């Protein structure tokens, strides 16, 4: 078996992405696993959107949002899903749906867990920001459980956090704003400094500006590459050992964009990942 290619993409609405050619782009990138965020569809609508595409007939784990037209995450794979989990619980046991889905894939090399997550946008010093922190707390607890399991895991998705200045072109203009708050960045600090998770895009690109994954539709943000790196693949230590490369699928021109985000692509050599205990 060759490397497993995982692609994570915030599609900004699956039906809009289909109209703009997003599924064709994703198919051409030849993923083995496709993680989607902001699907914004029911199960039936997602099935219709995938029909006739290269992904028709793939295994699908989908966590739609309870509010129509919002959020929603999904995992599509060639491999069967052994187990699926479609929600998180925060410390108050409140169920958070439509923002977290994980699937344990049945692969020849052994099970691999893949997560697609869409973190709240937030808004500094408002209840929306507190909701974001509660979700990040619940996410931290679940990621610890997954890391402690010792199996290969990759957590993908739109975290709505630029981790450092290198992840945001206009960082000075965004000081004090959601997405670039020290309290938000501290979550990524803890995950990565624990040694249990690796930021594969940063590992592949090195200490450079970007590569950005989100640009406003407005003005010249895309043309000037005035972007944010808020989409990630966080690989467990075991899986990161097998990382063979990662890149961001930035559209060549503004006219060819099919989402306000760009896909994050990573290849993992599962044979190089240490076996689970």
CATH number at residue 150: 3.60.10.10
Count structural domains, the chain: 1
Has residue 56 been placed in a domain? yes
Task: Count CB neighbours of 54 within 10 A.
Answer: 15
Backbone angles phi, psi at 222, to 5 degrees: -70, -45
Decide if pLDDT at 123 tops 80.
yes
pLDDT band per the 50, 70, 90 thresholds, residue 64: very high
Has residue 277 been placed in a domain? no
In DSSP terms, 234 is beta-bridged to 155, 199
Q: Tell me the residue range of the domain where 153 lies.
A: 4-270
Mean pLDDT (whole number) for 181-194 = 98
End-to-end alpha carbon distance in the chain: 22
Decide if pLDDT at 194 tops 80.
yes
Decide if pLDDT at 81 tops 90.
yes
In DSSP terms, 236 is beta-bridged to 197
Decide if pLDDT at 27 tops 80.
yes
3-state secondary structure of 8: strand
Q: What is the pLDDT of residue 273?
A: 65
Please name which of 268, 265, 261, 198 lies closest in space to residue 12, comparing C-alpha atoms.
261
Has residue 147 been placed in a domain? yes
Has residue 252 been placed in a domain? yes
Has residue 231 been placed in a domain? yes
Has residue 166 been placed in a domain? yes
Global pTM value: 0.95
Decide if pLDDT at 38 tops 70.
yes
Q: What is the pLDDT of residue 68?
A: 79
Has residue 275 been placed in a domain? no
Distances (CA, A) of 251 to 20, 165, 225: 12, 23, 11
Q: What is the pLDDT of residue 112?
A: 96
Q: What is the pLDDT of residue 39?
A: 97
Has residue 216 been placed in a domain? yes
Q: What is the pLDDT of residue 95?
A: 58
Decide if pLDDT at 92 tops 60.
no
């Amino acid at each position: 078996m060759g490397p497993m290619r995982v692609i994570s993409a915030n599609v900004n609405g699956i039906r809009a992405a289909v109209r703009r050619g997003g599924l064709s782009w994703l198919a051409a990138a030849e993923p083995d696993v496709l993680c989607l965020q902001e699907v914004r569809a029911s199960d039936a609508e997602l099935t219709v959107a995938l029909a006739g595409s290269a992904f028709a007939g793939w295994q699908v784990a989908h966590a739609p949002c309870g509010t129509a037209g919002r959020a929603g995450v999904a995992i599509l794979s060639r491999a069967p899903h052994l187990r699926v989990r479609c929600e998180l619980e925060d410390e108050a046991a409140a169920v958070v749906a439509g923002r977290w889905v994980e699937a344990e894939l049945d692969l020849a090399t052994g099970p691999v867990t893949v997560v697609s997550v869409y973190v709240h946008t937030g808004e500094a010093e408002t209840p929306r920001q507190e909701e974001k922190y509660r979700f990040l707390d619940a996410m931290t607890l679940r990621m610890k459980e997954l890391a402690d399991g010792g199996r290969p895991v990759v957590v993908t998705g739109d975290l709505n956090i630029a981790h450092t200045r290198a992840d945001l072109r206009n960082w000075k203009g965004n000081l004090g704003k959601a997405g670039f708050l020290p309290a938000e960045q501290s979550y990524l600090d803890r995950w990565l400094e624990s040694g249990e998770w690796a930021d594969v895009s940063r590992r592949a690109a090195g200490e450079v500006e970007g590569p950005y994954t989100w640009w406003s539709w407005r003005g010249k943000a895309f043309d000037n590459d005035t972007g944010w790196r808020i989409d990630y693949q966080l690989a467990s230590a075991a899986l990161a050992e097998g990382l063979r490369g990662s890149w961001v699928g930035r559209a060549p021109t503004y006219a060819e964009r099919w989402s306000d985000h760009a896909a994050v692509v990573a290849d993992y050599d599962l044979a190089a990942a240490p076996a689970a205990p």
